[in-house]
Amino acid sequence: MQVTSTATTEPAIAQPAPVRRLMSLDALRGFDMFWIAGGEEIFHVLAKTTGWAWAALLAEQFTHVEWDGFRAYDCIFPLFLFMAGVSTPFAVGSRLERGVSKSELARKVITRGLILVALGIIYNNGLFTKPISDMRFPSVLARIGLAGMFAQLIYLYFPNPKAQYIWFAGLLLGYWAVMKLIPVPGCGAGVLTLDCSLAGYIDRSVLPGRLYLKVHDPEGLFSTIPAIGTALLGIFSGQLLRSQGPVAQPNQKTLWLMLGGVGCLILGYSWGWIFPVNKNLWTSSFVLVAGGWSVLMLALFYWIIDVRKVSGWAFFFTVIGMNSILIYIAGEFIDFEYAAKFFFEGLLSFFSEPVRAVGSVLAFLAVKWAFLYFMYKKKVFLRV
C-alpha cells in the first residue's frame, strides 16, 4: 500500500493503473462510496423527522434485510467488488499486452489481496493489540481482497473466456451443492439459517477470534468462494467494454450489458426459489441478483458518461471514486463529524429541527467530500 502524488491525469486508485480509465467506472465507484460514506443517512433522517411516506420507503431500501431477501442497500458492497473486476481487463490486461509476465502480475495481485486483508483487520480492530479472542478477522476489505485476488488469478491463468465462464458456473453451482448437501452437526443438510448454515459452521470451526454475528460472519471465509463469482461478473463486463471485436460500438456494448444484467436478474430471482437470495450467506442466487443490478448500473453510467459524453454532473462522484479506499478507512482516524459541527453547527442552529437534522448529514458529507477534493487537487491518491 502506498499514497502517491502524481502529476499524471490518469492516477490509479485501489487497483493497478490502467492505460485507459473509464470515466463512468470512477463515477460509479464514487456513487457507490457516497452511500457507504454516509449518504443513506439523508433518507433515514428525513423519514424520522418528517414521517413522509416516500422517505420511509427509501429509508427502508437503505437498510439490509435481516436474512433472506434483497434491498437496494444489499447491492452496495457487491457493486464495489464487481467494479474491482471491471477494472481488471483494463489494468491487468493492458500490462499483459505490454509483455509483463504472468508471474510478476500474479505476485502483485496476491500482494494487493493480502494488503487489503491486513487493512481490514486494522479497520476492525484498530492499531492497538487485542487478544486474538476479541479480534474480528473477516471484513469487507478482506472479501474484496481475497475474492478480487482469486478472480484476477483466474483471469491471468485462464485467458479463454469459455474457461472463465466454466469457473464462474462451477463456483456458483459448487457452492449451491455443498451448502445444500453437506450436513452440519446437530442441524442436518441444507439448513440455511443463521445457526445452522454450512458457511457459518465452517467459519466457526476454522476462523480465530470472534464472528460479527457470534455464530456467523457475513464476510466469512467460506462464503468468499461465491464472491469470486461477483468479481468475475465484473471481469466479464470489463472485457466487453475493452473489446475491439464484433461488438465494438459503444451503443452495442451498452445493449449487451443491459441484456446481460436482465439475464442475471431473471436467473438469480428464479434460482432464489430453491436457493434463497441471501447476502449474509452470499448465495449463488444473490451473486446473480446483485450482479444483475450492478451490470445495469454500469450500463447506465457508461452510456450516459462515456457514450453520450454527459459527464459534468459526475465530477462530484468521480472525486469520491478516485480515492475510494482512502475515504472508507479515513473515518476510523479522522473525526469528520467534529469538523462538520465546527463549521456548520452555528449556521444550522437558525433552522427548524428537520432542517437541522438533514443539514447535519449534508454538512458531514460536505466535509468528507472537501477532504477528498483537496486530495484530488493535490493529486494524492491511496494505491493498493
User: What tens digit of pLDDT does each residue of 50-76 get?
Assistant: 888 998 999 999 999 999 999 999 999
- What's the confidence (pLDDT) of residue 247? 62
| Spatial CB neighbours of 162, under 8 Å, sequence gap ≥ 6 | none
Positive or negative, the Cα torsion across 322, 125, 146, 292? negative
In which band, very low, low, confident or very high, does the pLDDT at 9 lie, cut at 50, 70 and 90? Answer: very low
The grid cell for 161 is 473466456
Identify which has the larger pLDDT, 231 or 45: 231
User: What tens digit of pLDDT does each residue of 171-183 get?
Assistant: 999 999 999 999 9
pLDDT for 224 beyond 70: yes
- What's the confidence (pLDDT) of residue 334? 83
- What's the confidence (pLDDT) of residue 108? 94
pLDDT for 206 beyond 90: yes
In which band, very low, low, confident or very high, does the pLDDT at 15 lie, cut at 50, 70 and 90? Answer: very low
Q: What angle do CA 327, 333, 335 make, to 5 degrees?
A: 85
pLDDT for 218 beyond 90: yes
In which band, very low, low, confident or very high, does the pLDDT at 20 lie, cut at 50, 70 and 90? Answer: low
- What's the confidence (pLDDT) of residue 6? 45
CA distance readout (Å), 97 to 13, 90, 156: 21, 10, 12
- What's the confidence (pLDDT) of residue 128? 66
User: What tens digit of pLDDT does each residue of 101-148 get?
Assistant: 999 999 999 999 999 999 999 888 877 677 888 899 999 999 999 999
- What's the confidence (pLDDT) of residue 125? 87
Under 8 Å between Cβ of 244 and 231? no
Q: Count of residues for the chain?
A: 384
> Average pLDDT, stretch 298-307?
96
User: What mean pLDDT is reported for the chain?
Assistant: 89
Q: What is the largest CA-CA distance in the chain?
A: 63
- What's the confidence (pLDDT) of residue 12? 33
In which band, very low, low, confident or very high, does the pLDDT at 338 lie, cut at 50, 70 and 90? Answer: confident
Under 8 Å between Cβ of 267 and 287? no
The grid cell for 384 is 493498493
- What's the confidence (pLDDT) of residue 17? 37
> Average pLDDT, stretch 309-316?
92
pLDDT for 282 beyond 80: yes
Identify which has the larger pLDDT, 8 or 364: 364
**Residue closest to 224 by CA, chosen among 145, 120, 115:** 145
Query: For residue 173, with 0-12 CB atoms within 10 Å meaning exposed, 13-18 middle and 19 or more buried, which class applies?
Result: exposed
Range with the poorest average pLDDT among 1-15, 161-175, 188-202: 1-15
User: What tens digit of pLDDT does each residue of 153-170 get?
Assistant: 999 999 999 999 999 999
pLDDT for 1 beyond 90: no
- What's the confidence (pLDDT) of residue 16? 37
Predicted structure pTM score:
0.90
pLDDT for 28 beyond 60: yes
Rounded Cα distance between 222 and 227, Å, is 10
